[in-house]
Amino acid sequence: MTASVAMHLSDGVLDAPTSLLFGAIAAVWLTLAAARGRIDIDDRTAPLAGLLAAFLFAMQLLNFPVLPGVSGHLYGGALAAILLGPWVGSLCLSVVVVIQALLFADGGLTALGANVTNMALLGTAAGFVVALAARGVARRSRAGLLSVAFLAGLVSTVAASAGFVVEYAIGGQADVSLGGLAGVVIGVHAVIGIGEGVITALAVGAIARVRPDLIYLVRTSEARQPAAVAS
Amino acid sequence: MSASLDVRGLEYHYPDGTTALAGIDLRVEPGERVAVLGPNGAGKTTLVLHLNGVLTGTGRIEVAGMPLSPGTLREIRRRVGVVFQDPDDQLFMPTVADDVAFGPANFGVTEPELAERVQAALDAVGMAGHADRSPMHLSEGQRRRVALATVLASDPELLVLDEPSANLEPVARRELADVLLSLDRTLLMVTHDLPYALQLCPRAVLIDNGVVVADGPTRDLLADADLLAAHRIELPWGFVPHP
Amino acid sequence: MSASLDVRGLEYHYPDGTTALAGIDLRVEPGERVAVLGPNGAGKTTLVLHLNGVLTGTGRIEVAGMPLSPGTLREIRRRVGVVFQDPDDQLFMPTVADDVAFGPANFGVTEPELAERVQAALDAVGMAGHADRSPMHLSEGQRRRVALATVLASDPELLVLDEPSANLEPVARRELADVLLSLDRTLLMVTHDLPYALQLCPRAVLIDNGVVVADGPTRDLLADADLLAAHRIELPWGFVPHP
Amino acid sequence: MSGGHATVLHRPGDSPVHLLPPQVKLLAAFAAVLGVVATPREAFWAFGIDLLVVLAVWSVAGVPLGWFARRAVIETPFVLLAVVLPFVSGGPRMDVLGLAVSADGLLAGWNILAKGTLGVLIALTLAATTQPRDLVLGLQRLRAPGWFITIATLMLRYVDVIAGELRRMRIARISRGDDPRFLWQLGAAARGAGTLFLRSYERGERVHRAMLARGWAGHMPAGSAAPVGALRWVAGGSPALVIATVWAVAAWPG
Ligand SMILES: Nc1ncnc2c1ncn2[C@@H]1O[C@H](COP(=O)(O)OP(=O)(O)OP(=O)(O)O)[C@@H](O)[C@H]1O
Ligand SMILES: Nc1ncnc2c1ncn2[C@@H]1O[C@H](COP(=O)(O)OP(=O)(O)OP(=O)(O)O)[C@@H](O)[C@H]1O
Ligand SMILES: [Mg+2]
Ligand SMILES: [Mg+2]
């Protein structure tokens, strides 16, 4: 869940060189992701990526309060990783982050590089690594799949927030104690991540029941064979 | 000359395991008009979705002598125009005119021809007066007519219609028949409307459980009461086939 | 005894400004079966959506003597069963059986009667074999049949059907006619299928441009060629009304 | 289906700002925000001029002030951060209204407040005067990668699909006696969201098929993108140019 400053960074939190640096990092990663995870408009990756993006985008309109004056919404890094795999998952999340910035002013335009790095890259990758490591559990039973989805949601949220700590250390505009900052940011996101984990698990559970073939994580190696699916 | 459409041993299973096509064989010659009949759930729509490669089962599909494969997909989609059973699946642009222009524009038609095509297609279905409205804000029958126009505008060689007359007012239904008869195109029409099939299509195929169970002149097929009854087909109340 | 349905001066404009209903008056007595005819875009569906308060225009609607108002909405929805033109508007539960059970369960029917009702409704439309499938994964005609079952299971006093025969296989279409004739309920049926209207409904109303333009015995209405032609209605090819 | 097309923050109009080609607006917005961010935080006057530039654009666009104010609340978390920073930052302390705060932290808080606010206001200006699908078209003309355009196009398309499915599910429920007030509660909310996702996906899949069937190749036909004349680039870019000049003056050593 994204509820705090660490997720949709605004303009002015980082200095200009740092903003550009992370813009470059994001661009390089996305180029790599685009090469590895092809968006083939003829198979199901394109509609699934588009729909997940739309869903995350729409969920943002259904903000719910987390703290007074602060509301949160589903972030979706782990969900994207589990449904689409790490590469297309990154691409999908980056579209969400960019369009949110352009249409909602959610996250600064100059902070786009940093925000894409945190949410589309770090969060998605961390969620996928967790899910991949526990893939055996996920395939064995429904409870296994749900627990793995929960954990991936939690870890991806924390990972994305950790990205912010690093960025702030490099180009933050105020001289705050980094240890304290890291403690607060990561601590808060461990709590927020529980919400993210629960929603991720519920969503994956609902999808697994009806369309297990949509879940990248449990698809067998012949990913294009829709009938051969573990459920 | 090669067949307009040639389907061999086509099989398809939906992701949930349902077998929808269990080996379809169908050959349609250029200029033929063929009705596709069959009970609910027979696999008619699933077959239609294969003809331009939006679903891909196993088996072999050739359009105008060209085997359907990733390389020929675009060309085949240009030649095959499909009107879906549910217009909500078909319409997705902000205005009716944009939606009708979408297909031809993608296939490289440019202004001023594009505007002419859009106008002609909307005239053919009687929806020219609604060009600037949102397809979302039309009645069901109006949406179906726009869906037809989107495909007419692309002027495909093989026209595939899935239940084109459903939800059409009687006059629009007859006008559509006139339009289809005036087009000199190969036509494949899925329908439960047997009089309409008989009026428009000299030939019919009957599909059930994912296979073709009968294929022949529409009049003969509709005269075979045993065959029809075995596949939940019957002539409607009050209908008297003309001699 | 009060009318089963009484609509007075009903007007409705869609948010985009389109006038869909321009003052509808319609009175239906208990037990009557009335066909609602009219061209595409006449306002038939908009009228249907008012009968259970999904849309709210200006004017007056009474069901079994009860004026439609926020306070009576729930009771009226229990009495009026609407089958929508598009089954996707009707079905939303994970399985067919759940979906059929949803209405009666909301209106207080409990087990074991609930299970019996679900079974009976699914049998009536021939979908009992699909009870545990997801409604999203059915063919168009199968979905329409389930949509009918969801309303039959609630056993409403007034049954309102919007194009019930569209996309139905011929036998299911006839079986539905049998079911409807066997129910002793007030019936309002929107349809473009004139033979079906004649077969099922002794009375018909013709709607165009949001007003009722004719109301009378179906046979007389369908015999008035000038009236029909003025409203884009005509008898289909090959249809001969029985004497 | 389409119609509304995810209007979200868009405020229809036909002002010169609305009519500017989207690619011009996109580049101008990015340049303007970059200019703001690069401006040294001690140059207080510079941010005042930047704000005047934004206000000038609004008056040309004919979008009232209050409209932006209400939508700028998205920034609230950053205001909190800006308020907290002076207290938690290190470095020399100074006295403000009897509280000892970090001078550096105070400046940092101001920096976030000023730049963050201007950034939000500039982005809101872009969103208010540009249709979502024009934004994607603008990105396409600016040579954004193909995958981005494909996903973004489908995404905007599918927001309507999701809204449509949500509406259908609601009608289906209330017609059969459900009370919508209980719909979004606890478990029902979660289950509803799962069902909504699947329904939307499957309809989205069918819409996607229809798009493919009519030759869609991953992006909308960009249309006859008439080349944008130099004059319009200059006109559209002028606010960004002013902001860049302000930055140059403020950052000038000495
Ligand atoms: N998305 C889906 N997932 C799973 N099964 C499906 C799906 N769509 C259709 N089916 C099943 O596949 C079979 C064939 O369906 P299809 O839609 O091709 O039938 P049809 O002949 O077009 O029927 P109708 O006349 O009702 O339109 C049916 O048994 C149906 O239940
Ligand atoms: N959501 C909507 N927004 C705006 N206008 C609408 C909407 N739905 C329908 N209309 C318009 O309202 C009028 C009546 O539509 P309605 O759906 O009631 O027609 P209908 O008689 O049911 O037609 P059909 O036979 O095609 O189903 C038409 O002009 C239609 O274009
Ligand atoms: Mg079908
Ligand atoms: Mg209607």
How is chain B classified by DSSP, letter by letter? Answer: ---SEEEEEEEEE-TTS-EEEEEEEEEE-TT-EEEEE--TTSSHHHHHHHTTTSS--EEEEEETTEEP-TTTHHHHHHHEEEE-SSHHHH--SSSHHHHHHHHHHHTT--TTHHHHHHHHHHHHTT-GGGTTS-GGGS-HHHHHHHHHHHHHTT--SEEEEESTTTT--HHHHHHHHHHHHHS-SEEEEE-S-HHHHHHH-SEEEEEETTEEEEEEEHHHHHH-HHHHHHTT--PPTTB----
Is the same domain home to D26 and D113?
yes
Q: Does residue C39 have a cis peptide bond before it, meaning omega lies within 30 degrees of 0? A: no
Ligand 1, pocket residues at CB < 6 Å:
B 14, 16, 18, 20, 38, 40-46, 85; C 137-142, 167
> First CA to last CA across chain D, in angstroms?
59
C-alpha to C-alpha distance for C224 and C220, rounded to whole angstroms: 7
Q: Are residues D108 and D207 located together in one domain of the fold?
A: no
First to last CA, chain B: 34
* CB D203, CB D161: distance < 8 Å: yes
Torsion of CA B172, B177, B180, B182, to 10 degrees: -110
**Closest-CA residue in chain A for D22?**
A102
Higher pLDDT, D47 or D181: D47
Task: Grade residue D74 by pLDDT with cuts at 50, 70 and 90.
Answer: low
- For D166-179, the pLDDT digits (tens) are 888 878 877 777 76
Asked if the model's pLDDT at residue A68 lies above 70, the reply is no
Supply the pLDDT for residue A223: 40
Residue D200: which H helix or E strand, with range?
helix D186-213
Q: Which of A95-99, D130-134, D216-220 has the lowest mean pLDDT?
A: D216-220
Bridge-based pairing state of the strands A70-72 and B203-208: unpaired
User: In this structure, which ligand is nearest to the CA of B49?
Assistant: 1
Distance B201 CA to ligand 3 centre (A): 19
How confident is the model at residue C49, as a pLDDT? 93
Please give, rounded to a whole number of angstroms, the shortest distance from the CA of C134 to a CA of chain A.
Answer: 8
Chain C hits for B45, Cβ within 8 Å:
139-140
Set of chain C residues whose Cβ sits within 8 Å of the Cβ of D181 = none
The rounded distance, in Å, linking the Cα atoms of A214 and A223 is 10
Q: Poorest-confidence range of A64-68, A222-226, C69-73?
A: A222-226
Query: How many Å apart are CA C9 and CA D127, to the nearest integer?
Result: 43
In the predicted structure, residue D185 carries a pLDDT above the cut 60: no
- CA geometry: angle at C129 spanning C127 and C131, to 5°? 75
Cβ neighbours for C98, distance < 8 A, ≥ 6 positions apart: none
Are C49 and C59 in contact by the 8 Å Cβ rule? The answer is: no
> How many percent of chain A have pLDDT more than 70?
83
Same domain, D111 and D46: yes
Confidence class of residue A229 from pLDDT cuts 50, 70 and 90? very low
Mutate: best of C14, C86, C139, partner B, most B CBs <10 A: C139
pLDDT for residue D188: 58
Query: In terms of Cα–Cα distance, which of B90, B61, B63, B57 is closest to B76?
Result: B63
pLDDT on residue C22? 96
Residue A37 is predicted with a pLDDT of 80
User: Which sign, positive or negative, has the C-alpha torsion B226, B232, B236, B239?
Assistant: negative
Distance between CA atoms of residues C200 and C33, nearest Å: 7
A50 interface with B at CB cutoff 8 Å = no
Contacting residues of C for B195, CB less than 8 Å apart: 236-239
**What is the pLDDT confidence band of residue D98, given thresholds at 50, 70 and 90?**
low
Same domain, D117 and D154: no
C chain contacts of residue D175, beta-carbon cutoff 8 Å: 52, 54, 77, 82, 84, 90
**Residue pointed to by tokens 């979302």:** B136
Interface of D with B (CB under 8 A): 1-5, 133, 157, 160, 164, 203, 206-207, 209-217, 221, 224
What's the confidence (pLDDT) of residue B92? 83
- The total number of structural domains in chain D stands at 2
Q: Is residue D204 assigned to a domain?
A: yes
* Whether residue D234 sits in one domain with residue D113: yes
Nearest chain D alpha carbon to B56:
D209
* D41 vs C144: CA distance, rounded Å: 65
Average confidence (pLDDT) over D121-129: 86
> Based on the domain organization, do D92 and D60 belong to the same domain?
yes
pLDDT computed for residue C183 by the predictor:
86
CB contact under 8 A, C241 and B238: yes
Chain A residues lying within 8 Å of D217, measured CB to CB: 41
* Residue A161 near residue A186, CB atoms below 8 Å: yes
Which tokens hold the place of C78? 């229990």
| D246 contacts D179 by C-beta, under 8 angstroms | no
Ligand 1, atom 1: closest residue by C-alpha: C137
The pLDDT value given to residue A231: 30
pLDDT at residue A8 in the model: 72
SS3 of residue A167 by DSSP: helix
Give domain status of residue D243, yes or no.
Answer: yes
CA A9 to chain CA mean position, Å = 15
Summarised one tens digit per residue, pLDDT across range D234-250 is 888 888 888 888 888 88
Integer-rounded Cα radius of gyration of chain D: 23
- Number of Cβ within 10 Å of residue C123's Cβ equals 13
CATH number given to A16-229:
1.10.1760.20
B16 interfacial to chain A (CB closer than 8 Å): yes
**Cβ-defined contact of C92 to D177 (cutoff 8 Å):** no
Cα–Cα dist D21/D38, whole Å:
26
Phi/psi of residue C235, nearest 5 degrees? -70, 145
Which of C14, C189, C208 maximizes ligand 2 atoms within 8 Å of its Cβ, making it the mutation to test the pocket?
Answer: C14
Q: In the structure, which protein residues have their CB atom closer than 6 angstroms to any atom of ligand 2?
A: B 137-142, 167; C 14, 16, 18, 20, 38, 40-46, 85
Q: Is B22 on the interface with A (CB under 8 A)?
A: no
Q: What is the pLDDT of residues C79-110, one digit of tens each?
A: 999 999 988 888 888 889 999 998 898 888 88
Q: What is the 3-state secondary structure (H, E, C) of chain C?
A: CCCCEEEEEEEEECCCCCEEEEEEEEEECCCCEEEEECCCCCCHHHHHHHHCCCCCCEEEEEECCEECCCCCHHHHHHHEEEECCCHHHCCCCCCHHHHHHHHHHHCCCCCCHHHHHHHHHHHHCCCHHHCCCCHHHCCHHHHHHHHHHHHHCCCCCEEEEECCCCCCCHHHHHHHHHHHHHCCCEEEEECCCHHHHHHHCCEEEEEECCEEEEEEEHHHHHHCHHHHHHCCCCCCCCECCCC
Strand, helix or coil at A2? strand
- C21 C-alpha vs ligand 4 centroid, how far in Å? 13
CA neighbours closer than 13 Å in the CB half-sphere of residue A37: 23
Cβ distance D90 to D117 under 8 Å? Answer: no
Q: How confident is chain C (243 residues) per 10-residue block, as mean pLDDT?
A: 91 92 96 96 95 92 92 90 90 89 88 92 92 90 92 92 92 90 92 94 96 96 92 85 62
Q: How confident is the model at residue D88 (pLDDT cuts 50, 70, 90)?
A: low
With contact defined as beta carbons under 8 Å apart, do A93 and A123 qualify? yes
pTM: 0.84
pLDDT band at D5 (very low <50, low <70, confident <90, very high): very low
Q: Count of CB atoms within 10 A of residue C147's CB?
A: 27
Sort residue B166 into left (φ over 0), alpha (ψ -120 to 50) or beta.
beta
> For residue A220, is pLDDT > 70?
no
Q: What are the structure tokens assigned to B56, written together? A: 């891909």
Quote the pLDDT of residue A177: 75
| A/D interface, count of CB pairs below 8 Å | 235
D125 and D152, same domain (yes or no) = no
Q: Which domain holds residue D199?
A: 145-213
Residue D100, classed as helix, strand or coil, is strand
Whether residues D234 and D120 share a domain: the answer is yes
Q: Are residues D52 and D126 in the same domain?
A: yes
Is D221 within a domain?
no
Q: Nearest residue on chain D to B103, judged by CA atoms?
A: D214
The set of residues, in sequence order, having a beta carbon less than 8 Å from that of B163 and lying 6+ positions away, is: B85, B190, B191, B192, C140, C166, C167
DSSP annotation string for A41-96: TTSTHHHHHHHHHHHHHHHHHT-EEEETTEEEB---HHHHHHHHHHHHHHHHHHHH
Check: CB of residue C195 under 8 Å from CB of residue C239.
Answer: yes
Ligand 3 centroid, distance to B45 Cα (angstroms): 4
Residue with tokens 């509808």: C24
Q: Which of residues 187-216 of A touch B (CB under 8 A)?
A: 210-213
Res D195: pLDDT: 80
* Residue D225 within any structural domain of the chain: no
Residue D114 and residue D45: Cα distance in Å, rounded?
11
Parallel, antiparallel, or unpaired for β B158-162 and B80-83? parallel
State the pLDDT at residue D92: 66
**Domain assignment present for D207:** yes
Average pLDDT, integer, range D225-239: 78
* Cα separation, C20 vs C55, whole angstroms: 12
d(CA C85, CA C83): 7
Q: Does the residue D119 lie in any domain?
A: yes
Residue indicated by tokens 């909504």: D196
Q: How far is CA C145 from the centre of its chain?
A: 13
At B83, list the tokens: 């009107």
Q: What is the mean pLDDT of chain B?
A: 91
Return the minimum-mean-pLDDT range out of A3-12, B222-231, C124-133, D234-243: A3-12
How confident is the model at residue D38, as a pLDDT?
84
Tell me the domain boundaries of chain A. 16-229
Question: What does DSSP say about strands D99-102 and C211-217: parallel, antiparallel, or unpaired?
Answer: unpaired
Q: Which residue has the tokens 């490591």?
A: A133
Of C16, C140, C169, the CB nearest to B137: C16
Which two three-digit tokens encode residue A94? 């980056």
**Residues by chain with Cβ below 5 Å of ion ligand 4:** B 139-140; C 45, 85
Interhelix angle A142-171/A124-133, nearest 10 degrees:
140
The backbone torsions φ and ψ at residue C61, rounded to the nearest 5 degrees and listed phi first, read -125, 130
Q: What is the pLDDT of residue A222?
A: 39
* Reported confidence tier of residue D1, pLDDT bands at 50, 70, 90: very low
Contact D29, B121 (CB under 8 A): no
Contact indicator for A130, A155 with CB cutoff of 8 Å: yes
Looking at the CA of C43, name the nearest ligand. Answer: 2
Q: Are residues D100 and D199 in the same domain?
A: no
Under the banding of pLDDT at 50, 70 and 90, the label for residue D183 is very low
**Which residues in chain D are closer than 8 Å to C106, comparing Cβ atoms?**
176-178
Q: What is the pLDDT of residues C183-215, one digit of tens each?
A: 888 999 999 999 999 999 999 999 999 999 999
Atom nearest to B43 CA in ligand 1: 18
Residue D136 lies in a domain: no
Q: Are residues D241 and D195 in the same domain?
A: no
* C-alpha to C-alpha distances, D62 to A72, D17, D121, D130, D161, nearest whole angstrom: 32, 9, 15, 13, 31
- Ranges A19-33, C171-185, D103-117: which has the least confidence: D103-117
Residue B93 CA to residue D3 CA, distance in Å, equals 8
Q: How far apart are the first and last CA of chain C?
A: 34
B156 shares contact with chain D (CB less than 8 Å)? no
> What is the nearest CA distance from A215 to chain D, expressed in angstroms?
12
| Torsion sign over Cα D28, D33, D38, D42 | positive
- Token look-up 């040309």 returns D60
Query: Which residues of chain C does A209 touch, with a Cβ-Cβ cutoff of 8 Å?
Result: 94
User: Among residues of chain B, what percentage have pLDDT more than 90?
Assistant: 69
Considering A27-36, A38-47, A173-182, the range whose residues carry the highest mean pLDDT is A27-36
Which residues lie below 8 Å from residue B71, measured CB to CB, with a gap of 6+?
A: none
Tell me, yes or no, whether D209 and D152 share the same domain: yes
